[in-house]
Amino acid sequence: MTRNHRLTRRSFLTEFTGGVTAVAIFGLAACFSDGDAASEAPSTSSGADDGATTTSSAEAQQSADAEQATTTVAEGSEAVTTGGLSWQRVNLGFVSAYVIARGSELAVVDTGSSGSEGEILNAVESLGGTWDDVNHVIATHSHGDHVGSIREVMTAASNSAGYAGADDMLRIAAPRDLVAVSDGDEVFGLQVISTPGHTPGSISVFDAGSGVLIAGDALNTPNGVVEGPNPDFSADLDFANVSVQKLAELNFETLLVGHGEPVETGAGAMVAALAESL
């Protein structure tokens, strides 16, 4: 049986740095499931006029919970700039999306569950942009809590192209054709990394210049813990563990995930230690 390995910041410091004392701020993270456990990803509706992502009853309940737990950008999340790249977390309570800025051009990575486009617009505006400045929308995978608002976001951002892993893109109900991406591709200066396991077509994106990795659900950080994807909602944990080891080979400091708080320093070393434990 594949185990879901966990590594806390405290145990990392004790085990891998000889007990050296460090001070870190690691916020309380909420890690919820992605969708229906009986399927790898939500299905799309068959109606030709609708095209909206169909979510499971579990996801519907998550969305209802999120309406009460949502923290908008204006209520405390601030943009971070590192090495020419700025990023803004869109904290939706149980899941996060991200807006990335290079100069005046913007990209959205994941769109949250249905109804999240308003919070994403807040992040766009906090970075000094409008929907017209959003030229790229990247889906890390096909689960409804990550692509539930892709139709609304891409419709509002009418200049944007959409991207997803080839094995997930047919499960994503976007308003126009998505571009299939995989290892070796680049979008908005971000390196695309295939990280299958959570879903067959899961991808992560990496900015080498700033040392920022956006891992979708290939990694999670619930309650100050760095771990792989939720085993209850992942298609193949063996593939998922290989993807963790693949990400551990990268040189990064900042980790942005779908479920849990961002890790702004030391993330690469923590993921490497996790990979060694698999």
27 pLDDT higher than 70: no
Going by pLDDT thresholds of 50, 70 and 90, the confidence category of residue 157 is very high
64 pLDDT higher than 50: no
Alpha helix stretches (DSSP H) within 17-50: none
69 pLDDT higher than 50: no
Going by pLDDT thresholds of 50, 70 and 90, the confidence category of residue 267 is very high
The per-residue pLDDT for 211 is 97
Sequence spans of domains, the chain: 6-30+53-277
Residue type present at position 220:
N
The per-residue pLDDT for 195 is 98
Q: What is the mean pLDDT of residues 215-224?
A: 92
CATH class of the region 6-30+53-277 = alpha beta
For residue 75, count other CB atoms closer than 10 A to its CB. Answer: 10
**Rounded to an integer, what distance in angstroms lies between the CA atom of residue 144 and that of residue 92?**
13
Going by pLDDT thresholds of 50, 70 and 90, the confidence category of residue 73 is very low
162 vs 45, more confident: 162
143 pLDDT higher than 70: yes
The per-residue pLDDT for 84 is 87
Q: What is the mean pLDDT of residues 80-104?
A: 95
23 pLDDT higher than 60: no
Ranges 46-60, 73-87, 247-261, most confident: 247-261
175 pLDDT higher than 50: yes
Measure Cα distances from 227 to 93, 142, 160, 257, 270 in Å.
19, 20, 32, 11, 10
The per-residue pLDDT for 140 is 98
Going by pLDDT thresholds of 50, 70 and 90, the confidence category of residue 77 is low
Span 37-50, pLDDT tens digits: 333 333 333 333 33
The per-residue pLDDT for 32 is 37
**Rounded to an integer, what distance in angstroms lies between the CA atom of residue 81 and that of residue 117?**
23
Measure Cα distances from 200 to 22, 191, 195 in Å.
38, 19, 8
How many Å separate Cα 91 from the centre of its chain?
11
Going by pLDDT thresholds of 50, 70 and 90, the confidence category of residue 94 is very high
123 pLDDT higher than 50: yes
Do residues 141 and 204 touch, judged by C-beta distance below 8 A? no
Query: What are the backbone angles phi and psi of residue 256, rounded to the nearest 5°?
Result: -115, 130
